[in-house]
Amino acid sequence: MRKIRVTVWNEFRHEKTYEAVKKVYPKGMHTVIAKALRAQEDMTARTATLDEPEHGLTEAVLAKTDVLIWWGHMAHHEVKDEIVDRVQKRVLNGMGLIPLHSGHMSKPFMRLMGTECNLKWREADEKERLWVVAPNHPIAAGLGEYFELPQEEMYGEFFDIPAPDETVLISWFAGGEVFRSGCCFNRGHGRIFYFRPGHETYRTYYDENVIRVITNAVRWCAPTPDAAVREFGNRKPLEDLG
């Protein structure tokens, strides 16, 4: 079976700007995530960042990407609309998309949701406990009833997204909020999984359960090899999605 080809995209600015972040992710969050993916038997991973030409997301790269992971925050506005068009189109043609954490206000996610994607937030080093509310979902495979992150940024409801097609995880925060933290969406021929954790100052992407959710999500988002999607009329077939 062909491996799932993942591209891990990172804005990669906080890591260069702030000492506290650089200390946790000296080579960027994307490298930590990509390394964890490469340890899986059934996937490959490359990386791409904002400051590369075309943000590293050329037509050629996207044509060889089955699932795109996206971390962005302080520079959402610098992402060129032309690249957003390209990503949106590729998702609608079957590519998986996994926006992480502050990616809730990234241009590609907002474009695909159609809503403001706003939420409440607080930085207070507080505990997050993520509860599984869809225990038979493939993205919950291997998790217990919940898992914890000792310190995270808080995100709280109301999270202004369309009602997810499936909600897999709901977070509890020590400060008093709840949040739909693992949200599945089908859009066009593609699949999207929004996953909440991952503030840049914490070691979240080194966490075993976080990586498990991300790798499960990669498998869930990946296009089915012989999916009906290619047959559909008004749409060009996915390039090189063998």
Residues 149 and 197: beta-carbon distance below 8 Å: yes
Both tokens of residue 138? 């493939």
User: Is the Cβ of residue 137 or residue 196 nearer to a second copy in the bound state?
Assistant: 137
Q: How far is the CB of 146 from a second copy (least distance, A)?
A: 8
User: Is the Cβ of residue 29 or residue 241 nearer to a second copy in the bound state?
Assistant: 241
Q: How far is the CB of 150 from a second copy (least distance, A)?
A: 13
User: Is the Cβ of residue 144 or residue 242 nearer to a second copy in the bound state?
Assistant: 144
Q: How far is the CB of 15 from a second copy (least distance, A)?
A: 28
User: Is the Cβ of residue 165 or residue 208 nearer to a second copy in the bound state?
Assistant: 165
Interface residues toward a second copy, by CB under 8 A: 88, 92, 94, 111-116, 118, 120, 129, 131-138, 140-145, 156-160, 162-163, 165-167, 170-173, 176-178, 180, 185-191, 223-229, 231-235
User: Is the Cβ of residue 71 or residue 179 nearer to a second copy in the bound state?
Assistant: 179
Q: How far is the CB of 32 from a second copy (least distance, A)?
A: 24
Q: How far is the CB of 21 from a second copy (least distance, A)?
A: 25
